[in-house]
């Protein structure tokens, strides 16, 4: 009798409720001592009795779910405490058992894990954008306290997704959305590829069932011919390795559906362009053989220039290591090849859970664990300051990474999110370096601090002892660490010094306008404070000193300055948040409308001029960063804005009238029409029209584009 059968025979009624238990025991005995397997079986008996009589929506006995969760973790060789927590994770929530009962029977460690998972089960997400920030913070903190909590939760979510068909449609879509928005990115960040891939495909199937079926059907049709090509290429690579005496495993990879869907959506490419890329993984014994195999494969098939990545020398943030190369295969077919060692392959699939040694002294030597711990320690720093919303925004940057790698002057590699600036780099080196940076060099050339960094650049930060962070940096920094450090420094300045600074800034600005704090008077100041929802002048001065309010805006607000007294302008000022009491106008070079990303420029005598962020004229203002104002649209705007569109039409009688009628049918008024140019066949027409927002404009462009005599229509670029 085998070991699994021996244990099962000791459990009363086990044969009747062996829902995956035998498989679990077989897996556990491959890496756990017998006494630990016996303890896990005690946990199973406890859970089976607690859930006795309960069934899942699928009709199966409830205990089948915790056993399936434990099986997923056992396949990654997690310790016995994590396996027991997986088996018991629903007992506190769904049965009469308590945390105290679990602690008495299985110890404090298992009880804490079960308690952590139970608290996570109470979290409800709607989407990435609408996630409850405080609940999200709790999830991250649970990971910081014991990362096994989130591993159990990921395994729990995976099995729930596999049985999601039993749920009603609305709930199924909500769960699928939060899986794609929250849980799959966490699995990716922790390097657990097997969880990430399954969670993404299951989430995709349930959120977009029609798209999933179309892609799945198309892939199955092409699999017959693909199988022959994959077999042929695998044999050619295998023969080449054998000739050199190299032992290696060659695996033809199939792209998972969600990966294909995202590539099609992001790159705007046809399905055939994505599907016809063949993937191969070559697994060998050691690192030196990886590079040797790379040379052999490049000799067999020509590499595509610029498509080689060395993740062995420069691992990804989640610990992933491999050589990636894209090749021209037979008949020009593109091949994607990954070359890695067996150890790297285990890490690629299990990430932070690979070779789990939670209590081992040498755990810091395990790359995935070390990188996960570094990430979690950064989260611990972030959560100590700022609001829950700020914390959520910060963590999103890490959960949805698009990384670049730059170098320090000494040659050390520094990974950063795409779009990072030299200030982000400075804070990544050390918080003190970031706080004291005054300028930077990229590839030995001086550049502005807001310069975006690219892959492979060498960055040097120049510091000054008396330098301090600039509040304006918050408008362009990308990383959570930089943003948090700048905010922390600003908060530490909340002293008499910041109040004094704000007072001096405001007084100086008032004098530029021919007034002063004394002339403003207590009555006007009191009324202004009430309008701004502030308690006293100290609070106002403090905000000015910290950069939370701009002195020029506040001074004009106190004086009630209105340059032209235009009532329409006063109405316009309500549409832009953060410009209380200011004259607001909209730039005619780019015609911003609600929904556009915008910025304000403080113009002497003209108030705040709103530009689109993409406006070409902004380059003229970059020398005056102190006049930039961060702006955003109010949520509800009930007015119309000017926008300019260009329409290219065939030269036919009545075309202008047809286009004008279509624009009018969309509920828009035409302010001005201009003929920009006329050729033999085509005319270029410019329309200045009234729209409510970007959606309104998009509807007009769509309807005009459908007209038979219209060649092209576009919004005039700034």
Write out the catalytic residue numbers.
93-94
The residues pairing with 678 across neighbouring beta strands, listed in sequence order, are 683
Structural contact between residues 216 and 257, judged by C-beta atoms closer than 8 angstroms: yes
Q: How far apart are CA 700 and CA 708, in angstroms?
A: 15
In Å, what is the CA distance from 27 to each residue of 75, 110, 122, 194, 327?
7, 20, 31, 17, 39
In Å, what is the CA distance from 319 to each residue of 342, 347, 403?
14, 7, 13
Question: Which of these, 123, 172, 162, 125, lies nearest to 143 by C-alpha position?
Answer: 123
Q: How far apart are CA 364 and CA 345, in angstroms?
A: 19
Give Cα 428 to chain centroid, integer Å. 19
Taking the CB of residue 638, how many other CB atoms lie within 10 A of it? 8
In Å, what is the CA distance from 689 to each residue of 589, 610, 663, 704?
14, 18, 8, 13
Structural contact between residues 485 and 434, judged by C-beta atoms closer than 8 angstroms: yes
Q: How far apart are CA 192 and CA 354, in angstroms?
A: 9
**Residue partners of 599: CB distance under 8 A and separation at least 6:** 610, 611, 613, 618, 628, 629, 630, 631
On the CB side of 353, CA atoms within 13 Å amount to 27
Question: Which of these, 134, 116, 136, lies nearest to 182 by C-alpha position?
Answer: 136
**Residue partners of 588: CB distance under 8 A and separation at least 6:** 642
Structural contact between residues 639 and 681, judged by C-beta atoms closer than 8 angstroms: no
Q: How far apart are CA 309 and CA 681, in angstroms?
A: 49
The encoded tokens of residue 333 equal 């077919």
The encoded tokens of residue 427 equal 């804070």
The encoded tokens of residue 677 equal 């140019």
Q: How far apart are CA 587 and CA 596, in angstroms?
A: 13
Q: How far apart are CA 281 and CA 252, in angstroms?
A: 6
Structural contact between residues 689 and 645, judged by C-beta atoms closer than 8 angstroms: yes
Structural contact between residues 302 and 326, judged by C-beta atoms closer than 8 angstroms: no
Sign of CA dihedral 82, 86, 87, 88: positive
Q: How far apart are CA 690 and CA 697, in angstroms?
A: 9
Structural contact between residues 560 and 609, judged by C-beta atoms closer than 8 angstroms: no
Kindly compute the dihedral angle of the four CA atoms of residues 307, 308, 311, 313, in this order, to the nearest 10 degrees.
-140
∠ CA 264-269-273, rounded to 5°: 100
Q: What is the DSSP string of 405-460?
A: EEE-TT--EEEEETT-BHHHHHHHH-HHHHHHEEEEEETTEEE-TTPBP-TT-BEE
Tell me whether residue 554 is exposed, middle or buried, using C-beta atoms within 10 angstroms of its C-beta: 0 to 12, 13 to 18, 19 or more.
Answer: buried
**Across the chain, which distance is largest between two alpha carbons, in Å?**
98
């Amino acid at each position: 009798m085998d070991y699994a059968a021996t244990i099962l025979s000791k459990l009363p009624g086990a044969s009747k409720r062996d829902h995956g238990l035998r498989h679990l025991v077989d897996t556990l005995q491959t890496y756990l001592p017998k006494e630990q397997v016996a303890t896990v079986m005690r946990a199973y008996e406890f859970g089976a009795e607690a859930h006795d009589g309960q069934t899942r929506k699928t009709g199966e006995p409830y205990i089948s779910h915790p056993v399936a969760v434990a099986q997923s973790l056992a396949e990654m060789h997690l310790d016995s405490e994590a396996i027991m927590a997986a088996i018991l994770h629903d007992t506190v929530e769904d049965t009469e058992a308590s945390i105290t009962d679990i602690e008495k029977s299985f110890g404090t460690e298992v009880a804490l894990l079960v308690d952590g998972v139970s608290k996570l089960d109470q979290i409800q997400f709607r989407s990435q954008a609408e996630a409850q920030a405080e609940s999200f913070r709790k999830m991250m903190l649970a990971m910081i306290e014991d990362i096994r909590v989130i591993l159990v939760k990921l395994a729990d979510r995976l099995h729930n997704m596999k049985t999601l068909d039993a749920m009603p449609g609305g709930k199924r879509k909500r769960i699928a959305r939060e899986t794609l928005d929250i849980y799959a990115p966490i699995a990716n960040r922790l390097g657990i590829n097997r969880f990430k891939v399954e969670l993404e495909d299951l989430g995709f199937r349930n959120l977009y069932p029609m798209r999933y079926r179309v892609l799945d059907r198309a892939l199955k049709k092409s699999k017959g011919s693909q199988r022959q090509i994959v077999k042929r290429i695998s044999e050619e690579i295998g023969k080449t390795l054998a000739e050199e005496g190299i032992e290696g495993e060659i695996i033809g990879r199939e792209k998972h559906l969600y990966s294909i869907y995202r590539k099609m959506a992001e790159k705007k490419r046809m399905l055939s362009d994505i599907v016809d890329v063949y993937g191969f993984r070559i697994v060998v014994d050691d690192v030196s053989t990886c590079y040797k195999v790379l040379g052999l494969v490049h000799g067999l098939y020509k590499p595509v220039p610029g498509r080689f990545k060395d993740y062995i020398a420069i691992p990804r943030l989640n610990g992933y290591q491999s050589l990636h190369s894209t090749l021209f295969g037979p008949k020009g077919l593109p091949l994607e090849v990954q070359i890695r060692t067996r150890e790297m392959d285990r890490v690629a699939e299990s990430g932070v859970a690979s070779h789990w040694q939670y209590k081992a002294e040498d755990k810091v030597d395990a790359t995935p664990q070390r990188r996960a711990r570094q990430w979690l320690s950064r989260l611990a720093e972030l959560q100590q300051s700022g609001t829950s919303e700020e914390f959520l925004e910060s963590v999103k940057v890490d959960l949805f990474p698009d990384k670049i790698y730059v170098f320090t002057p000494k040659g050390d590699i520094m990974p950063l999110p795409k779009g990072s600036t030299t200030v982000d780099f400075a804070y990544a080196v050390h918080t003190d370096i970031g706080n004291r940076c005054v300028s930077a060099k990229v590839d030995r050339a001086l550049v502005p601090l807001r310069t975006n960094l690219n892959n492979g650049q060498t960055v040097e930060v120049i510091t000054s002892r008396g330098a301090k962070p600039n509040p304006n940096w918050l408008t362009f920094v990308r990383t959570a660490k930089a943003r948090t450090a700048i905010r922390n420094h600003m908060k530490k300045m909340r002293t008499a010094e910041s109040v004094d600074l704000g007072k001096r800034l405001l007084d100086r600005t008032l004098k530029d306008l021919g007034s002063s704090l004394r002339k403003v008077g207590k009555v006007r100041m009191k009324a202004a404070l009430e309008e701004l929802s502030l308690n006293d002048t100290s609070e106002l001065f403090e905000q000015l000193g910290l950069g939370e309010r701009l002195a020029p805006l506040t001074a004009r607000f106190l004086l009630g300055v209105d340059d032209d007294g235009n009532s329409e302008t006063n109405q316009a000022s309500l549409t832009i948040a953060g410009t209380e009491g200011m004259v607001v106008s909209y730039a005619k070079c780019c015609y911003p409308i609600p929904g556009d990303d915008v910025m304000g420029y403080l113009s002497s005598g003209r108030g705040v001029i709103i530009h689109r962020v993409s406006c070409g004229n902004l380059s003229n203002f970059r020398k005056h960063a102190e006049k930039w104002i961060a702006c955003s649209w109010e949520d509800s705007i009930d007015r119309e804005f000017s926008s300019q569109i260009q329409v290219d039409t065939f030269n036919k009688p009545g075309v202008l009238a047809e286009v004008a009628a279509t624009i009018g049918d969309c509920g828009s008024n035409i302010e001005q029409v201009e003929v920009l140019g006329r050729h033999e066949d085509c005319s270029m027409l410019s329309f200045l029209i009234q729209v409510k927002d970007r959606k309104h404009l998009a509807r007009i462009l769509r309807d005009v584009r459908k007209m038979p005599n219209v060649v092209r229509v576009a919004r005039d670029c700034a």
